[in-house]
């Protein structure tokens, strides 16, 4: 297979994304556009550019990237740092500006990897994982690279590498089920049980996601599934939403959920991409509220883990 996987990050020694110590592979491209997303650089399924203004040395006289862009995307204005015209920048494949920047303020978000290159990295990390560790495929949305992902998963099985996936489950059902034939452990996000609120927060409706979860349970899949909810104050932290999700879980014999507490760790990335971060001043949730929601699940015989306190 000659197809390349588009990856925006690879992290070794992760202990929060599945059993044991793991290597996380982050695919780029996502059909959702969550307003609180911590990895907005993952939205676009192609190479693209980030500008870290705090690293830029324009005020020290640096003009290394001036006139280097073949499309004229980088503009200089008096007494201001470089400005990038993002719509023009999307045409680029060569990123001369990244290679010439001496301060690393310009970054190409995505790199291409072959299946064998991914497996080489995983085999390198193998001895660091311990008996329960392995690889977790995340993103973005790994299902957008299903053909490449399946080839990697097949080789993981060959080398007895335990695999996990973090997914929105927003994909054609046939693709979703085909990938899950090779998956051993899964996190699936359920952002909001209300269809309209789900679309308002993520850009897509939730019916395909919920349908795929139901189909997976009916398929006889033998892996372990943990639902996840990034818990956002004022968006999905109501008792009503929790009870709807509890009802859905019981209906589908699902008994594990991980509630993730809202954070703003991705805000700087939004700025570097020239995007407006809507959750700059709202969305906060107290730990006491998280514990309250946890009790609702526990009272209904559903194992509920808060944040990193997870027995995976």
Residue 311 lies in a domain: no
The verdict on 92 and 154 lying in the same domain is: no
CATH number, domain of 70, equals 3.30.70
Q: By the 8 A CB rule, do 237 and 288 touch?
A: no
The verdict on 54 and 98 lying in the same domain is: yes
Rounded CA gap, 87 and 253, in Å? 46
SS3 159: coil
What pLDDT score was predicted for residue 289?
A: 98
What pLDDT score was predicted for residue 91?
A: 81
DSSP letter at 311 equals: -
Structure tokens at 291: 């514990």
What pLDDT score was predicted for residue 2?
A: 66
Q: Cα 40–44–48 angle (5° rounding)?
A: 90
What pLDDT score was predicted for residue 276?
A: 94
- pLDDT below 50 — which residues of the chain? none
Determine how many CB atoms are found less than 10 A away from the CB of residue 39. 19
What pLDDT score was predicted for residue 79?
A: 67
Total domains in the fold of the chain? 2
The verdict on 286 and 301 lying in the same domain is: yes
What pLDDT score was predicted for residue 312?
A: 81
What pLDDT score was predicted for residue 300?
A: 98
The verdict on 93 and 224 lying in the same domain is: no
Cβ within 8 Å of residue 119, ≥6 positions away: 152, 155, 156, 159
CATH number, domain of 257, equals 3.20.20.70
What pLDDT score was predicted for residue 107?
A: 87
Q: Which domain holds residue 75?
A: 49-108
Question: Tens digits of per-residue pLDDT, 92-117?
Answer: 888 899 999 999 998 888 999 999 99
The verdict on 217 and 278 lying in the same domain is: yes
Q: What pTM, to 2 d.p., does this model score?
A: 0.92
Domain boundary among 60, 82, 108: 108
What pLDDT score was predicted for residue 188?
A: 98
Residue 214 lies in a domain: yes
């Amino acid at each position: 297979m000659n197809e390349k996987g588009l990856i925006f990050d690879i992290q070794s020694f992760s202990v929060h994304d599945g059993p044991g110590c793991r290597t996380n592979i982050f695919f780029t491209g996502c059909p959702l556009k969550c307003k609180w997303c911590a990895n907005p650089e993952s939205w676009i399924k192609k190479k693209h550019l980030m500008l870290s203004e705090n690293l830029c040395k324009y005020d020290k006289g640096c003009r290394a990237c001036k006139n280097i862009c073949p499309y004229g995307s980088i503009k200089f204005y008096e007494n201001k740092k470089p400005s990038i015209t993002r719509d023009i920048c999307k045409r680029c494949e060569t990123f001369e500006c990244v290679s010439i920047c001496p301060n690393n303020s310009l970054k190409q978000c995505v790199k291409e990897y072959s299946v064998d290159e991914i497996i080489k990295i995983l085999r390198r990390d193998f001895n660091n994982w311990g008996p329960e560790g392995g690889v977790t495929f995340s993103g973005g949305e790994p299902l957008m690279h299903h053909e490449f992902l399946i080839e990697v998963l097949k080789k993981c099985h060959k080398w007895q590498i335990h695999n996990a996936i973090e997914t929105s489950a927003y994909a054609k059902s046939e693709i979703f089920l085909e990938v899950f034939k090779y998956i051993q452990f899964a996190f699936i996000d359920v952002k909001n049980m209300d269809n309209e609120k789900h679309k308002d927060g993520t850009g897509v409706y939730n019916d395909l996601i919920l349908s795929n979860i139901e189909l997976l349970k009916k398929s006889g899949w033998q892996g372990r599934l943990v639902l996840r909810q990034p818990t956002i104050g004022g968006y999905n932290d109501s008792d009503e939403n929790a009870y709807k999700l509890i009802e859905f879980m019981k209906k589908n014999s699902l008994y594990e959920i991980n509630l993730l507490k809202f954070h703003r760790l991705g805000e700087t990335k939004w700025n570097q991409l020239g995007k407006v971060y809507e959750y700059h001043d709202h969305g906060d949730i107290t730990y006491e509220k998280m514990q309250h929601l946890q009790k609702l699940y526990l009272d209904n015989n559903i194992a509920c883990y808060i944040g990193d306190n997870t027995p995976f």
